[in-house]
Amino acid sequence: MVAAITPVVVPGPAELAEAAARWTADRLRAAVAERGACHWALAGGETPRGCYRRLAQPPFGAQLPWARVFVTWSDERQVPLDDPASNYAMARAALLDHVPIPPEQVFPLVGDPTPALRRVPPDDGGWPRFDLIHLGLGEDGHAASLFPGDPALEEQRALVRAVVAVKPPPRRLTLTLPVLNAARAVLFMVQGAAKREALERVMRRDPALPASHVQPVDGELQFIVDTEALGR
Ligand code: 6PG
């Protein structure tokens, strides 16, 4: 039986950015303190932008051990990296251009990302075990670029799958469920009334929604949501 999900509920986007930044900073610091590095898969879409901007600001921007942080993405649109639709471009503008992460520790999810993913220390099953994975939630309950009914949801061997998504831009790469579920900590950031139904269904683990299948085998699952998304 999967433990019930108790989300952290905040009033709105600004408070979600703050809470997500603090949650992330705490786990980033702990990963570096305990294991000498933090391997982090960033989320795409719009919701995480506030959190990433907040992490570039005091006290996080100057205080966090960025030199020991390694980043990639939980999914990416197959567009040029300088295209405004690129998740890489969003994170660069909001965070990566403003903190001293060594460029050689930033791994865009492009081409064949497998070698970069294999740099992440594996779990006992050989899956890359990220310290942190950020995710948003689609209105249809997708997470990363794992969309309802997509065969990629069944992937049990590959680390990454190419998909054609209903959400534009259509051609994407996504981490697969075994990688998401190998993580030490997964954070869903969910805001806005448009996500209300999806969030309600994911919190009761409706199996029809891909996000319901994000259940870390040996890790923390956290939702930080605003009151609009929760429907209160
Ligand atoms: C993407 C994202 C996707 C996103 C959700 C929510 O590349 O589109 O990875 O999974 O997290 O669609 O998007 P918003 O945060 O923009 O609502």
Tens digits of per-residue pLDDT, 188-216?
Answer: 999 999 999 999 999 999 999 999 999 99
* Domain residue spans of the chain: 9-227
Mean local confidence (pLDDT), 117-131: 97
What CATH number does domain 9-227 carry, 3.30.1370.30, 3.30.1330.80, 2.60.120.380, 3.40.50.1360? 3.40.50.1360
Mean local confidence (pLDDT), 135-161: 98
Mean local confidence (pLDDT), 161-170: 96
Model pLDDT for residues 58-83, shown as the tens digit of each residue: 999 999 999 999 999 999 999 999 99
Q: Whose Cα sits closest to atom 8 in ligand 1?
A: 45
- Pocket perturbation via mutation, ligand 1, pick of 49, 52, 135, 147 by most ligand atoms within 8 A of CB: 135
d(CA 89, CA 111): 16
- The pTM for the full model equals 0.98
Whole-number pLDDT of residue 232: 76
Mean local confidence (pLDDT), 138-163: 98
Whole-number pLDDT of residue 2: 63
Token code pair at residue 41: 């898969």
Instruction: Say yes or no to pLDDT of 147 above 60.
Output: yes
Mean local confidence (pLDDT), 88-95: 98
Mean local confidence (pLDDT), 21-28: 98
Average per-residue pLDDT in the chain? 97
Measured CA to CA in angstroms, residue 49 lies from 36, 132, 163, 224 at distances of: 27, 16, 23, 14
Token code pair at residue 127: 């899956």
Please report which residue ranges of 44-189 form alpha helices under DSSP H: 48-55, 60-63, 87-91, 114-117, 177-180
Whole-number pLDDT of residue 1: 53
Whole-number Å distance, alpha carbon 174 to ligand 1 midpoint, is 12
Whole-number Å distance, alpha carbon 44 to ligand 1 midpoint, is 5
CA-closest candidate to residue 120, choices 185, 44, 40, 43: 40
Instruction: Say yes or no to pLDDT of 29 above 90.
Output: yes
Whole-number Å distance, alpha carbon 106 to ligand 1 midpoint, is 20
